[in-house]
A and B are shown apart, each in its own frame.
Chain A
């Protein structure tokens, strides 16, 4: 690192003021800014991280309003609607704005005897916003049957196929919306648990040092050199088959955090070791501040940002792991709906070759993981605004 670097230089300030006084005004603002303000300014510079943050927020909004965005009952099976290809929405009808979908006609392929569906351009089914559909509880609070899109006076299940249907005739778009919930929250739950374990054990390790530190470090090393997927598979296979969705969910969370905590513990320990030598900690000690207060009031705030960054970077691994386990049939199981459960249908390459839309759940997985990685990178850069 080069010395005597001006702390922050920002174009937003330069454009606001004349060049000469701007530096002093900017410098003054910088010198009185709090640590969190400095971090926010630095984070804002990382454009990709900003965009990723917005993308992630959007995903969580989808998870909250999943039932509203879905238009078909995600659990309702219908053999007559098996494996329908995605159908687009047509927005204009003879130059007039009137969103509609074509009706589908089911036929038998004369050569393969497979049931195929063809859109019939003569049969136009108009769509409308905030239409009525299946009943659900919004935010678990009140019952409603309004959905973002639907069909006037008919069943949306029979008309709209934005992403097609699966083998059992369930609408893939609606299922994907609902799947956001489990897939996005299981990562959060897993990361929370690993965070608790990581901060506790990493903190003890960094604070006390000596034999306890060595022991915890060896345990971490051993855990990290065990190939995780066989371990997870073993643990997941050990779950009783008759467990309900909620029990499986928590079991998976625990399984995921079993390895996840080691990374966070390392970060916490490293920060503890570094901060223990800092002057301000020594000053506080000399002033007679109690150890608990030094930790909570002086040390934790200065490495909180690092922990947030490390947590964000740990999240995508959790999401990948859940998807992988569910894909293998060892994680969440139907009737639970998660991206991994949806991808289970795509396990067989023959099926995928005929109905490639079954792979569509891969897209949100990739986007979310990418976004979390960028966001974590940005947060990590911003975590140390004085560096």
Chain B
């Protein structure tokens, strides 16, 4: 069990390293650098820029050294807790990201909770009452959830809300709390706004999990031990929840590892549609402006968050599934 945890942990570290390299590489790919973009911006507003000025800027930001040196410098700064400054906003990257990162996490975690909270009971119900009307309805909704990409769902819901309820359902805060400092009222306001993005983000995952849960449980319910338990007069409720559900849960948990990256991914683009004050819109903007430290830090943080979520789900899986707990390496 300990070996398993350690192995997972090492893999997680390796993944984070790979993400940091990828994040840095992506940001270095576009032709030109921030200074080119900045100078173009200055030139368009009528300011004359001398080549010496550009060279100075490059040196100041360390843009003139080779890429791998820049990467090492970046990593060194990060290890000291300095994530650099946003070139575009002229503010420390951490200040830019701060709240947005927490909000992204709040949205993603609530989407995962929503997915689980809904998929589990519906999956069990659909399996136990197979071919009932409710089963068909859930299956149908599930397929729709699977087929409608989350950002389209967000667009459609936004339109419907606008059209028929005359309400803007985007955002995470009511106008009066938008710029306010954190308080109990603001947190409550956030909680009130969370369900919609959570539903939109969790829809596809929920649909998938319902189908997995239903199929697994159907397989379990046909096994002889269920019949034996029923013949012995065990109450139907306990009979289903005690063993078959637990056995059917294994593949269910193992998909959580992929659910998390999926939801974080989706949250980026849904945030743009719903204008959520999360990290998505900032990432898009920083990528377009080639704001390297900001974009790099965001991709890195998103990656770390995902790896962390996956790691937790691995540990959960180990706890649920004894076969993994006592796994021997072949």
Contact = CB atoms under 8 A, between A and B. Distances in A.
B31 A327 contact: no
Chain B: interface size category: 35 or more
A24 B151 CA distance: 55
A349 to B, nearest CB: 5
B14 A222 contact: yes
Contacts of A197: none
Nearest to A235: B26
B299 A228 contact: no
B43 interface: no
Contacts of B18: 222, 226
Given A240-B30, A324-B269, A227 B147 contact: no
A231 B22 contact: yes
Interface in B31-78: 31
A227 B151 contact: no
B294 to A, nearest CB: 12
Interface residues of A, number: 40
Interface string B195-212: 000000000000000000
A224 interface: yes
Interface in B129-168: 143-144, 146-149, 151-152, 155-156, 158-159, 162-163, 168
A328 B269 contact: yes
Contact of A238 (B26, B149, B273): B26
Given A349-B170, A362-B155, A228 B261 contact: yes
Contact of A233 (B14, B29, B159, B284): B284
A230 interface: yes
B285 to A, nearest CB: 10
B42 to A, nearest CB: 19
Given A226-B15, A234-B295, A365-B149, A359 B283 contact: no
A323 interface: yes
A355 to B, nearest CB: 11
A226 B17 CA distance: 11
A61 interface: no
Interface stretch (B109-117, B185-193, B246-254, B303-311): B303-311
B127 interface: no
Contact of B306 (A226, A316, A349, A366): A226
Contact of B149 (A225, A231, A320): A320
Contact of A234 (B14, B23, B155): B23
Interface string A248-278: 0000000000000000000000000000000
Contacts of A229: 265-266, 268-269
A interface, over-half SS: helix
A352 B162 CA distance: 9
Nearest to A372: B147
Contact of B147 (A235, A346, A366): A366
A88 interface: no
A349 B156 CA distance: 10
B298 to A, nearest CB: 7
Interface string B299-325: 100110011001000000000000000
Interface in A171-230: 218, 221-222, 224-230
A231 B269 contact: no
Contacts of B288: 237
A370 interface: yes
Given A234-B287, A323-B149, A373 B143 contact: yes
Contact of A225 (B156, B158, B257, B266): B257
B38 to A, nearest CB: 16
Interface in B86-117: none
A221 B306 CA distance: 13
A359 B155 contact: yes
B241 interface: no
A347 interface: yes
Given A233-B287, A356-B159, A359-B156, A227 B265 contact: yes
Contacts of B269: 229, 324, 327-328
A324 B15 CA distance: 25
A353 interface: yes
B287 A224 contact: no
B227 interface: no
B28 to A, nearest CB: 8
A370 B302 CA distance: 30
A332 interface: no
A224 B273 CA distance: 25
B261 A227 contact: yes
Given A233-B287, A234-B287, A328-B272, A227 B264 contact: yes
B27 interface: yes
Contact of B298 (A226, A230, A362): A230
A306 B18 CA distance: 31
A353 B162 contact: yes
22 contacts: A222-B18, A224-B261, A225-B15, A225-B257, A225-B261, A227-B261, A227-B306, A230-B265, A231-B22, A233-B268, A233-B287, A234-B287, A235-B29, A324-B269, A327-B151, A347-B272, A349-B155, A349-B162, A359-B159, A362-B156, A366-B147, A370-B144
In the complex, the 4 A-B pairs of residues with the closest C-beta atoms, listed nearest first: A238-B29, A234-B26, A237-B287, A370-B147
Given A328-B272, A369-B148, 11 more contacts: A222-B15, A225-B15, A225-B258, A226-B18, A227-B261, A229-B265, A230-B283, A230-B298, A234-B27, A240-B31, A353-B163
